[in-house]
Amino acid sequence: MIQLNYRDGRPIYEQVRDGLRQLLVVGAIQPGDKLPSVRSLAAQLAINPNTIQRAYETLEQEGYVYSVPGKGSFAARREEIDGTRRQELLSRLDELAEELMYLGVTPEEIARRCARAAEKKQSKGKEGAAHD
């Protein structure tokens, strides 16, 4: 499910964290779903459980998952996700847009990319819409 790439410089735990977050974003993991256990995911990816553990911890700090001691980790509902993350992403968006325009990309092109991402998201979102 999650593809690790040892060649890009990013730490493994970040790749695991981003991979899990991506599964949430595209709807492959629905709110309330139980995430794979640390051990099973570690075995599946053939990496150290400590690395998985760290990925879960940071994901929990972002608010995407919550853990129930003794039961496991679960995907949070969107409403429960801390607004901090959204604010951070928005300010990153601003920086990104400014730099892209400096590099000659027009605002129209940027909007077009976002719109395309929106379509992609909507089509995938349909599957899990009932769970909301």
Residues binding DNA (CB under 7 A): 9, 11-14, 35, 37-40, 47-51, 53-54, 56-57, 67-73
Nearest to DNA of 39, 112 (CB atom): 39
- Which residue, 53, 54, 31, is CA-closest to 40? 53
Burial degree of 15 (CB within 10 A; 0-12, 13-18, 19+): buried
Q: How far apart are CA 53 and CA 106, in angstroms?
A: 42
| Site membership for a copy of itself, residue 130 (CB under 8 A) | no
39 binds, among a copy of itself, DNA, none (CB under 5 to 8 A by kind): DNA
Nearest to DNA of 14, 62 (CB atom): 14
Q: Where do the H-state alpha helices sit in 65-106?
A: 83-102
Nearest to DNA of 27, 49 (CB atom): 49
| Site membership for a copy of itself, residue 132 (CB under 8 A) | no
